[in-house]
Chain A
């Protein structure tokens, strides 16, 4: 990690009762960066955010923000705003008063509160609603107010805990674009929690894939997708074909693995006899006999995805997933198909690891 990280979480650990929720999490975020925490329900995403915000005390670890150790600093003196999943707007205040709250709490000059509130309400396109009570807003509107409220104070860092999970798909996609634009305009560093992989892939500069209280991989979206570091990351982000096998011999920088689908080649250095797990992304597999790894499979099912077709095949009892531009001529369930992919596109993991 670069020493110049804007936010540096080191060894954050938390146990509730007898369950270890976070087991020593390290995460470094650069100034202005947008990092997503992606992981299944209960993996500790909210707990990690609350530790950064100071709302939950960690059992161990250190949080440094902008060169200051804030581990023991109370939440109201951290300059870290939070957008909660439930929005948590102040129900007794109007839209404008909600956005003004943090400015007033910090003793901002009265003359600059009004213009700042107006500016942020305009940024989230809620200017017309300034005097409405927040109870009379739709979910998407409340969400915008919550974002405006969090950003209006000019925080060093904004933490967003699944802010779009209550919105329908179209609104959610519109909000993703809006939020990205807004954060870029304001220049705020952000950590964004989600368990929606598409959301994470679309929005993030980097994604931290979390599993059971640990960060399994933290990298840019393309690396996360094309080079998942663990079987969990392979599974959780995107779809794939997974084949368990055993190394039979090595060929320079490649290994040959025996799998239910046949002998396959993959990059890597493993001792012969080692159990391994192979993974291939569906769009890397092509119909026909092109790549270094060739598999005879039987079509089980094809589903139409608009621009692409998703083919479910089996090879030697193992499911194989292929994304193709179109269904091959005359292919019906039961048809035999040859598929292939480059051996360099095969992902290899030591087997026995928890997936």
Chain B
């Protein structure tokens, strides 16, 4: 039997062409640029890169901030997605608007807003002092915690929406069946809801992680130059240091790390979800 191409697959052609032009071609250029040097192909730039302990710090910063932001987004986004999937009518529309509308506010504007909120005399500091959590006002701005808070704010819709779209396809009777069979709420969550929601959670994690790992504007405005991530370092290399070699190397390292982690965590959670 011959495998005839599915004609419906042709519908993906415009997107493929578009991505090919704006994404694949420059990416190939970048990859080539990172290994081609006058005198031939070499992996030396990567070896050099990893010999410098500063670059390890930068890679660590990137992964830590991305992981923390993803966790915060999951912790906030999952319950929101549940509420959204349960809500009906006006309430549901209102929550959806509240999630999607902020996407139309530019990242720069949001980052500036967080600058105000996270200042030493900002709202967060005042509330924490008022609650007695902090003894005296502190500055969250220009700290890693401030960066994670700001980034989570920007990226949480990309966790909520995929989780919601999966949750809403789950028949509520399935959970009720588990309950009437004697499953406690926790058991039901672990054995029914979570495995069924897993595809949405995995894509939410993949979205948020790769977007936070590569964000540039938010760390630039919320932590400044002393805290570098692979993305800000790439930007600095190209824009300020005019060091295209370093720029393409960091860009490729970032890409490789992100792809490895997203693919790895996806297949891991698939495996975990598959066994009961």
Interface residues of A, Cβ cutoff 8 Å to B: 53-55, 74-82, 84, 86, 88-93, 97, 101-102, 105-106, 149-150, 153
B149 interface contact, C-beta 8 A: no
What are 15 A-B residue pairs whose CB atoms fall within 8 Å in the complex?
A: A74-B179, A76-B183, A76-B184, A79-B182, A81-B180, A82-B176, A86-B171, A91-B174, A91-B196, A92-B196, A93-B276, A101-B191, A102-B182, A105-B181, A106-B182
B23 within 8 A of A: no
**Given A86-B171, A88-B171, A92-B196, A101 contacting B183 (CB threshold 8 A):** yes
How many Å from the CB of B128 to the closest CB on chain A? Answer: 37
For A74, the chain B residues whose CB sits under 8 A away are 179
Interface string of B163-187 (1 = CB under 8 A from A): 0000000010110111111111101
Given A88-B171, A92-B196: A101 touches B178 (CB 8 Å cut-off): yes
- Interface contact B183-A105, CB-CB below 8 Å: yes
Report A160 CB to chain B, min CB distance, Å.
Answer: 12
Tell me, in angstroms, the Cα distance from A93 to B183 when the chains sit together: 15
CB pair A53 B180 closer than 8 Å: yes
B195 within 8 A of A: yes
Contact B181 A153 (CB under 8 A): yes
Residues of chain B with a CB closer than 8 A to A76's CB: 179-185, 188
Interchain nearest-CB distance for B220 vs A (Å):
43
**Complexed CA–CA distance, A80 and B176 (Å):** 12
Query: Is B192 close to A, CB under 8 A?
Result: yes
For A78, A82, A105, which residue has the most chain B Cβ atoms within 10 angstroms?
A105
Say yes or no: A88 contacts B179, CB within 8 Å: no
Q: Which residues of B contact A84 (CB under 8 A)?
A: 173, 176-177
Tell me if B180 and A105 are in contact (CB < 8 A): no
Are B182 and A88 neighbours in the complex by a CB distance under 8 Å? no
Interface core residue of B181, B183, B187, B191 (most chain A CB under 10 Å)? B181
Give every chain B residue within 8 A of A92 (Cβ-Cβ): 195-196, 273, 276
Using CB atoms, name the residue of chain B closest to A149: B181
* Separation of A102 and B171 alpha carbons in the complex (Å): 18
**Chain A contacts of B171 at CB under 8 A?**
86, 88
Is chain B's interface secondary structure helix, strand, loop, or mixed overall? helix
Q: Using Cβ atoms and an 8 Å threshold, which residues of chain A touch B173? A: 84, 86, 88
With A88-B174, A90-B192: A75-B180 Cβ-Cβ less than 8 Å? yes
Q: Within the complex, what minimum Cβ distance (angstroms) separates B141 from chain A?
A: 45
B interface residues, Cβ below 8 angstroms from A: 171, 173-174, 176-185, 187-188, 191-192, 195-196, 273, 276
Q: How far is the CB of A242 from chain B (nearest CB, A)?
A: 39
9 closest Cβ pairs, A-B complex: A102-B181, A88-B173, A105-B183, A88-B177, A106-B182, A82-B180, A105-B182, A75-B179, A84-B173
Least CB distance, B232 to chain A, in whole angstroms: 41
* Whole-angstrom CA separation of A77 from B182 in the bound complex: 6
Decide if B181 touches A101 in the complex (CB within 8 Å). Answer: yes
Q: Contact between B182 and A55 (Cβ–Cβ < 8 Å)?
A: no
CB atoms of A105 and B191 under 8 A apart: yes
User: Within 8 Å CB of A53, what residues of B?
Assistant: 176, 180
What's the Cα separation between A55 and B176 when bound, in Å?
A: 7
How many whole Å from A354's CB to the nearest CB in chain B? Answer: 32
Knowing A82-B177, A105-B187, A105-B191, the reply to whether A153 touches B182 (Cβ < 8 A) is yes
Alpha-carbon distance A91/B184, docked complex (angstroms): 19
Residue of B nearest to A78 (CB): B180
Q: Choose one: A54, A77, A105; the contact of B178 (CB below 8 Å).
A: A105
Inter-chain CA distance A296–B264, complex, in Å, is: 86
Residue of A whose beta carbon sits closest to that of B198: A92
Contact of B276 among A80, A89, A97 (CB under 8 A): A97
Contacts of B178 in A (CB 8 A): 90, 101, 105
Complex: chain A residue closest to B192, CB-CB: A90
Nearest chain B CB to A294's CB is how many angstroms away?
55
- Give min CB distance, B167 to chain A, whole Å: 14
Query: Could you tell me the distance between the alpha carbons of A89 and B273 in the complex, rounded to whole angstroms?
Result: 17
Known: A90-B192, A91-B196, A101-B191. Contact between A81 and B181, CB under 8 A?
A: yes
Q: Name the residue on A nearest B185 (C-beta).
A: A76
Contacts of A80 in B (CB 8 A): 180
Q: Which residues of chain B have C-beta atoms less than 8 A from A105's C-beta?
A: 178, 181-184, 187-188, 191
Alpha-carbon distance A97/B191, docked complex (angstroms) = 11
Complex Cα–Cα for A235 and B265 (A):
62
Residue in A closest to B177 when the chains form the complex, CB atoms: A88
User: Least Cβ distance of B192 to chain A in Å?
Assistant: 6
A81 and B180 CA atoms in complex are apart in Å by: 5
Kindly state the separation between the CA atoms of A81 and B174 in the bound complex, as whole angstroms.
13
Interchain CA distance A84-B173 in the complex, whole Å: 7
Given A86-B173, A92-B195, CB of A55 within 8 Å of CB of B183:
no
User: Which A residues are in CB contact (< 8 Å) with B181?
Assistant: 76, 81, 101-102, 105, 149-150, 153
Cα-based distance from A148 to B191 in the complex (angstroms):
19
Residues on the A chain within 8 Å of B196, using CB:
91-92
CA distance A314 to B36 in the complex (A): 99
- Enumerate chain A residues within 8 angstroms of B183, measured Cβ to Cβ: 76, 101-102, 105
A85 to B, closest residue via Cβ: B173
Cβ–Cβ < 8 Å partners of A82 in chain B: 176-177, 180
Report Cα–Cα, A86/B171, bound state, in Å: 9
Query: For the complex, what is the distance from the CA of A89 to the CA of B185, rounded to whole Å?
Result: 18
Query: For the complex, what is the distance from the CA of A53 to the CA of B179, rounded to whole Å?
Result: 10
- Alpha-carbon gap, A53 to B273, bound state (A): 29
